[in-house]
């Protein structure tokens, strides 16, 4: 559990550095871990694209397979652009477990991301350090469709 806390705190720090820079999208942090070490990390970029998971998975490459992703906000289940969602990207990368701090109320997530991950056999844990991560999203007003 101690390592989980450390990795999620790193994801929160990555997101915190982007608060106010991601336009309509929330600032999200993602850390990908394999064999107990960080193999990729990222945050939602300026203007809201790419998403944190995309950045972290690109950095991790094949090392993500069988690993764990720590994400501050539930991965999207659909994209307004029609591009592959973050939950689809996590499944395609072969991560075995996704640890999420906060649920996302957006219609593009709202349980869809977690459902897709679980449906693909990925273990999903929700709520780790949610009290610390929640402050990142106090001003976030998601689109509803």
Could you tell me the domains of the chain? 2-137 (3.40.140.10)
The residues annotated with a catalytic role in the active site are: 53
pTM: 0.95
Whole-number Å distance between alpha carbons of 16 and 20: 9
Alpha helices in 17-129 (DSSP H): 52-60, 86-93, 112-119
Maximum Cα–Cα distance for the chain, whole Å?
Answer: 39
Whole-number Å distance between alpha carbons of 23 and 38: 28
pLDDT tier at 122 (50, 70, 90 boundaries)? very high
pLDDT, tens only, 34-91:
999 999 999 999 999 999 999 999 999 999 999 999 999 999 988 878 889 999 999 9
């Amino acid at each position: 559990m101690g390592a989980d806390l450390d990795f999620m705190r790193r994801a929160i720090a990555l997101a915190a550095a982007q608060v106010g820079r991601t336009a309509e999208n929330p600032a999200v942090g993602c850390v990908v871990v394999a064999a107990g070490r960080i193999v990729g990390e990222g945050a939602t970029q300026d203007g809201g694209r790419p998403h944190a998971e995309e950045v972290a998975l690109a950095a991790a490459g094949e090392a993500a397979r069988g690993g764990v992703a720590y994400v501050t906000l539930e991965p999207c289940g659909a994209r307004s652009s029609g591009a592959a969602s973050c939950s689809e990207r996590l499944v395609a990368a072969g991560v075995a477990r996704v640890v999420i701090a906060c649920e996302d109320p957006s219609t593009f997530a709202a349980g869809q991301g977690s459902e897709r991950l679980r449906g693909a056999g990925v273990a999903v844990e929700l709520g780790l350090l949610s009290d610390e991560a929640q402050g990142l999203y106090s001003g976030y007003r998601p689109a509803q469709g």
